[in-house]
Amino acid sequence: MKCKEAIQEISNFLDGDLNDALKKELERHFAECDECNLVVVQTRKMIEIFIQAEPVDLPHEVRTRLHGTLRKKLSQPSV
Amino acid sequence: MPSAIAREDEHLLVAAAKKGDLSAFEELVSRYERKIFRLALNITGNHEDAEDAMQDAFLKSYSHLKDFQGDSRFYTWLVRIAANEALMRLRKRRPNQFSLDEPVQTEEDLMPRELQDWGPGPEQRFAQTEMRDILSRVIEELEPDYRIVFVLRDMEELSTEETAAAVGISVPAVKSRLLRARLKLREKLGRYFRKSDAKGGAN
């Protein structure tokens, strides 16, 4: 397998969205190719970092406006 | 288990909100407002649009609460509504920057250029706020087509099919954009994480 083909499948590989034969072939390629292996490991790490990141703080005034609007609009009896 | 209790509790809040209990609905809003704001901000890349999208998403979710069947998590359902609101605003503001067609791309674009070691636990070298800034910066640099798919699939953990439905593109298009988004983000993060740039340490 060429690096170009392996890179094309990295996303599917990380999602486990591959048939067994292709998965084995990729695993073999990653075991032999340091560069592609680095890309897989770092891409997986990158996703983990995004998932674990704390959401930004909701600015206080944005939150006040949101709850004010919800109370105002939702407490009116619907027509 | 706390998560099971939280889920059960959420179920009760949704049931109460469906009956018109506004304080139950506000409790749900309070739980998810930060995440929904981040989602809207990541998609629109604009504070004003993000705030409007979040507000309308919560208003819409309240008025459509009767349609929520409880077969998915409430949050997943909310994400789909919020993603739609955010996308509408992005398309309005930047009609030429978002396409339903496949962007022109070559295989060469995919080949990695950044191949430096990040060292162990690269994220631990940054303070939490600094890390947040880095993540928002790299995501903002990504083209909207890729950004949306990454946000929904990897940050909100929607399935490929759910993402395709929310964005209005095909499943293969989601997969191909996700691949590109992930490869590009790895490259961009590499600029901050390169081990050679790391400061300190015993040696």
Interface touch B186/A67, C-beta < 8 Å: no
CB within 8 Å: A35 and B115: yes
Q: Coil, strand or helix: which one is A46?
A: helix
Burial of A8 (0-12, 13-18, 19+ CB in 10 A): middle
pLDDT interval class at B191 (50, 70, 90): very high
In a domain, A14, yes or no: yes
Q: Return averaged pLDDT per consecutive 10 residues of chain A, 79 residues in all.
A: 94 95 97 96 95 87 97 76
Residues A43, A41: Cα–Cα separation, whole Å: 6
Q: What residues 78-97 of chain B have any CB closer than 8 A to a CB of chain A?
A: none
CATH number of the domain encompassing residue A34? 1.10.10
CA distance B19 to B65: 9
For position B203, what pLDDT does the model report? 37
Taking 3-state DSSP, the helix, strand and coil percentages for chain A, each rounded to the nearest 5, stand at 75, 0, 25
Residue-range definition of the domain harbouring residue A36: 3-74
Q: Are A75 and B22 in contact (CB under 8 A)?
A: yes
Q: What is the pLDDT of residues B41-76, one digit of tens each?
A: 999 988 999 999 999 999 999 999 999 988 778 998
The enclosing domain of B76 has a CATH number of 1.10.1740.10
Cα B195 to Cα A34, A40, A43, B105, B174, distances in angstroms: 17, 17, 16, 31, 32
Structure tokens at B113: 């250029």
Residue B110 included in any domain: no
Phi (first) and psi of residue A17, to 5 degrees: -105, 60
Q: How far is CA B2 from CA B8, B30, B33, B42, in A?
A: 10, 18, 20, 29
Query: Among A4, A38, A67, whose Cβ lies nearest the Cβ of B107?
Result: A4
The pLDDT tens digits for B110-169 are 888 888 899 888 888 999 889 989 999 999 999 888 999 999 999 998 999 999 988 889
Q: Cα B103 from chain centroid?
A: 21
Residues in chain B: 203
B107 part of contact set with chain A, CB < 8 Å: yes
Please tell me whether residues B89 and B165 are part of one structural domain: no
Looking at residue A41, its pLDDT comes to: 96
Q: Which residue of B has its CA nearest to A78?
A: B63
pLDDT bin (cut points 50, 70, 90) of residue B103 is low
Q: Quick check: is A79 in a domain?
A: no
Whole-angstrom CA distances from A8 to B30, B144, B157 are 41, 21, 21
- Predicted confidence at residue B122, as pLDDT, reads 87
Torsion of CA B144, B149, B152, B155, to 10 degrees: -90
Give the DSSP per-residue string, B26-95.
HHHHHHHHHHHHHHHHHHH--HHHHHHHHHHHHHHHHHTGGG--SSS-HHHHHHHHHHHHHHHHHHHH-T
pLDDT digits (tens, 9 = 90+) for B166-187: 888 999 999 999 999 999 999 9
Number of domains in chain B: 2
Please check whether residue A61 lies inside any domain of the structure.
Answer: yes
Quote the domain boundaries for residue B52. 2-93
Is residue B7 in some structural domain? yes
Does the predicted TM-score (pTM) go above 0.90?
no
Say yes or no: B160 and B82 in one domain: no
DSSP of B156-202: S---HHHHHHHHT--HHHHHHHHHHHHHHHHHHHHHHH-GGG-----
Question: In this structure, are B135 and B192 located in the same domain?
Answer: yes
Contact A49 B179 (CB under 8 A): no
Residue B103 lies in a domain: no
Residue A64: inside a domain? yes
CB B38 within 8 A of CB A54: no
Look at A50 and B38 and tell me if their CB atoms are within 8 Å: no
Residues from chain A that touch B29, judged by Cβ atoms under 8 A, are 66-67, 70
With contacts defined as CB-CB under 8 Å, which chain B residues touch A49? 123, 131, 135, 189
Cβ–Cβ below 8 Å for A54 and B51: no
Cβ distance B54 to A66 less than 8 Å, yes or no, reads yes
Mean pLDDT of B16-41: 95
Q: Is B52 on the interface with A (CB under 8 A)?
A: no
CATH number for the domain that contains residue B155? 1.10.10.10
B91: pLDDT confidence band, cut at 50, 70 and 90?
confident
- Does residue B88 share a domain with residue B161? no
Q: Which 3 state secondary structure label does DSSP give A70?
A: helix
